[in-house]
Amino acid sequence: MTDAFCLLETILYEPGQDEADGNPEGFYLLDLHIARLLKAAQDFHAANEDIFPNVPTAHELIEALNNHVATTTTTTTEPSPLPLRVRLLLDLDGKVNIEHTELSGSGGYELLDAAAAADDAKLINVILDSQPIPCPDDPFLLHKTTRREVYEAARQRTGCDWHPEKDEPFDVVLWNTERQVTETSIANIAVRMKTNECWLWKTPRLDCGLLPGTFREWLIQDKQVEEGIITVDDLIHAQKHGDPIICFNSVRKAYPVRLLIRSNHSTEEGV
């Protein structure tokens, strides 16, 4: 676990947005991002005292982020009017590095709206992985880091492409040895399911083996989704019966997806 890696938070920066919009300093869900980063550093340090011995405070991290975007300029030397994808990295010694890229838009749905998801024609293709994740309690699945071998291997196995053609998958849905859905390579996931005669949005529980996404946490706090178990068969059933499936993270926010079902995705045999 001591091979070099960094803790990572990918944060949406929206110029002109303020705390009233849930964006302190213009950074979307900033408090949740900072809290997650500091908890990850604490957990890794508890397992190995040689790493993350000195970690910046929340105030120092926020100050570093503000200083970074304040010096971000375009060719006209004016602050960028576009949203930014900001990468906040913390190395094993506790040193901070910040990077960014410009975004052309502000992401997907702010709120998880079933009707909008069901009616949206711009469905993004996802596909089930062909094998389970190797270890649901892997700390590199439970914390966001630059070590992404599990995710990249799953994408490669299933032929995912960041710029897919019409029938190609954009992202891969991971699942564990109990055939419980966990997450995708870049997002959390939820399915609109019927429970006790009520329709609700369900997202996998953390003990299934997944990253506690900040947008996921916000949706749970806002009582828009509930944690539960979603099996591989549940996901296939939802796609076949037209029940909405949505992925979400704090940069893209929520967006509807279509599960591509291939011949080896059987409800009677293991995928």
Summarize pLDDT for 185-234 with one digit per residue, the tens. 999 999 998 877 788 999 999 999 999 999 999 999 999 999 999 999 99
Cα gap 244→52, rounded to integer Å:
41
Q: What is the pLDDT, as a whole number, of residue 161?
A: 95
Average pLDDT over residues 85-107: 91
Name the band, by pLDDT with cuts 50, 70 and 90, for residue 166: confident
| pLDDT > 90 in the chain, percent | 70
Average pLDDT over residues 127-138: 95
DSSP class of 107: -
Q: What is the pLDDT, as a whole number, of residue 263?
A: 66
Average pLDDT over residues 73-92: 77
Q: What is the pLDDT, as a whole number, of residue 269?
A: 39
Whether residue 193 contacts residue 200, with contact meaning beta carbons closer than 8 Å, is answered with yes
Instruction: Give the residue with greater pLDDT, 180 vs 20.
Output: 180
pLDDT at 5 over 80: yes
Name the band, by pLDDT with cuts 50, 70 and 90, for residue 122: confident
Instruction: Give the residue with greater pLDDT, 82 vs 133.
Output: 133
Strand partners, 145: 7
pLDDT, the chain, mean: 88
Q: How many CB atoms lie within 10 A of CB 267?
A: 13
Q: What is the pLDDT, as a whole number, of residue 194?
A: 81
pLDDT at 156 over 90: yes
Instruction: Give the residue with greater pLDDT, 207 vs 268.
Output: 207
Question: At 231, phi and psi to the nearest 5?
Answer: -85, 165
| pLDDT > 70 in the chain, percent | 84
Q: What is the pLDDT, as a whole number, of residue 211?
A: 98
Cα gap 11→19, rounded to integer Å:
15
Q: How many CB atoms lie within 10 A of CB 31?
A: 13
Cα gap 56→237, rounded to integer Å:
46
pTM of the model: 0.89
Q: What is the pLDDT, as a whole number, of residue 76?
A: 46
pLDDT at 2 over 60: no
C-alpha distance from residue 199 to each of 224, 225, 244, 259 (Å)? 12, 11, 11, 20
Go through the domains of the chain in sequence order and give each one's CATH number: 7-102 (3.30.470), 114-260 (3.20.10.10)
